[in-house]
Amino acid sequence: MTRVVNVPSHFDARSFEQFAKACGDMTDDRLLFDAHATQWASPFGLVGLLAAGQWAAEHGPERPLLTVPGDRDVAHYWGRAGFFAHAADWYELHGKVPRVTPATSSDVLLAITPVRGTDDVHGVVESVQERSAAILSGELGLEATATMGFAMALSEACQNIVEHAGTSGWVAVQAYHWRRRLGRRVVVIAVADAGIGFRRSLEATQASRFGDRWSDATALEAALFQGASRFRDPGRGQGLGGIARYLNRWSGKLAVRSGAARISIVPSWDDDQPLTEGLTPFPGSQVLMIVPAQEAQ
Amino acid sequence: MQLIDLKAILQHTVSSAYGDLVTRPTGKAVRDGIEAALDDLDTEPVTVIDFSTVRLLDYSCADEIVGKLLLEQGGARVFLLQGVTASHCEAIEPVLRRHKLAAIARDREGRVRMLGAVPEDARKALSALTDRVQPGSPADNDALVLPEGTAKELLQLLRFSGPRDPDPADRHSAGAAE
């Protein structure tokens, strides 16, 4: 039996919960991810869709299906963002896949890129630095040193996949003008995997500290605020805290979703909840980082 | 004084294609390279870890290269971090604090600063002392007035961060007199 999962027409971090709910348990039926009517997808939506595809392909009865967006411009954008190049690994694609190369437009700072190991992290950091420097300092008004912090945050987020997910993942970086929500330019980093998630990663070293309270939410809190790590090495577990410090300094946003919980560092311009529990479980971890243009003093 | 060029070690031990100190395995490989270099020249009293040619250093690499190196070798050797940038310090500072370590670093303009688990007034006092040797830098005499305990702590840190003084008591009195 095939079950249809509708991809939201405007697929981003806000509509991700609608998507996760539609995915539900991805192990019983063959899934058809229907993106035919999708009008727009953020990098967070696209890497999340890849994670869903991987999970369904690896744990479901058959390789899932995906209908390509019907709107030619939308499909071309997904192609330029590098989505189809990776989607073909996990989905049986239906519809017209545009023949475009993943690209290097001024806004796509990093097309969707797989993160499988240390070499990929080096590659991501190398390729994003020069392109992001012009946007971060030129267009967003950040100090020149912020470019290095941005690359550090990107590096640590990618390493979380390599070190903790137990599988590969994806990263994408893009610049936008958020006219309606913020009225400013932003740079967005989206990272996703379909791995074991924070709770399972930290369980062996942290669960006993929390007893009955151990959950996806407490695992996220421990990782973000207490620097908890699955390794007993005291030097471990600093990456996520470092990302949070960087984003705090530049009034940015950090949101980490894992399992059935999502934790956020919420800047003044956003209305997200700091912690949300009881979400529909979704495999792996998904990280969203947003750096906004600085307000004129 | 032995100079360790981190980028040269990176390219020698990991890959000539890499220019940034990112990821934990890379940091570990670089630390292994540093330790091998230290074994070759173990009579040098001071080892300068040179960041001048390093563009990016992330937290994981900072922990492997600076944190673990100082934990393992800091008791027996004297290290100075050289050529650090503000972003390098952002990675190194929390690593040192987490391990309750301190280090002296010289930036690319020659300014000396103390990083890590150091009392704030001791940090300011060191800046005031080192600024005095910079031509044209205003002296901050107030920063040099320290409680006795803090002064002792700072001097102890300095004693372990530079060539050994034959008579630490003399240094103590000279530094604390301000």
A126 contacts chain B (CB < 8 A):
yes
Number of domains in chain B: 1
* B118 within domain boundaries: yes
A145 contacts chain B (CB < 8 A):
yes
CA dihedral angle for residue A121, residue A127, residue A131, residue A132, rounded to 10 degrees: 10
Which pLDDT band holds residue B119 (cuts at 50, 70, 90)? confident
Residue B174, pLDDT above cutoff 60: no
| Residues A221-256: tens digit of each pLDDT | 999 999 998 888 888 888 999 999 999 999 999 999
* B152 within domain boundaries: yes
> Which residues of A fall within a CB distance of 8 Å from B26?
118, 122
Q: Are β-strands A253-259 and A282-292 bridged in parallel, bridged antiparallel, or unpaired?
A: antiparallel
Residue A123 to residue A129: CA distance in whole angstroms = 10
List B residues 60-89 in contact with A (Cβ-Cβ < 8 A): 60, 63-64, 67-68, 85-87
Contact B60 A239 (CB under 8 A): yes
A127 contacts chain B (CB < 8 A):
no
* pLDDT, position B176: 24
* B19 within domain boundaries: yes
A159 contacts chain B (CB < 8 A):
yes
The beta-carbon neighbor of B59 closest among A126, A162, A242 is: A242
A137 contacts chain B (CB < 8 A):
no
Give A100: exposed, middle or buried? Use CB within 10 Å, 0-12, 13-18, 19+.
middle
* Alpha-carbon dihedral sign for residues B43, B47, B52, B54: positive
| Per-block mean pLDDT, blocks of 10 residues, chain A (297 long) | 95 96 92 97 97 96 96 94 95 93 75 94 89 82 85 94 91 87 89 96 94 97 92 88 93 96 95 96 97 81
Q: Give me the domain span that covers residue B91.
A: 2-173
Q: How many CB pairs lie under 8 A apart between chains A and B?
A: 86
* B178 within domain boundaries: no
Quote the minimal CA–CA distance from A149 to chain B in Å.
7
Q: What was the ipTM of the complex prediction?
A: 0.86
Q: Which letter, b or e, does each residue of A76-86 get, where b requires 16 or more Cβ atoms within 10 Å of its Cβ? A: ebbbbbbbbbb
Contact A198, A206 (CB under 8 A): no
Tell me the mean pLDDT in the region B85-107.
Answer: 93
* B166 within domain boundaries: yes
**Inter-CA distances, A18 with A21, A80, A286, B14, Å:** 5, 25, 15, 44
Quote the minimal CA–CA distance from B76 to chain A in Å.
21
The beta-carbon neighbor of B99 closest among A118, A129, A235 is: A235
- In this structure, what are the phi and psi dihedrals at residue A269, rounded to the nearest 5 degrees? -85, -5
* pLDDT, position B168: 39
A235 contacts chain B (CB < 8 A):
yes
* pLDDT, position B124: 79
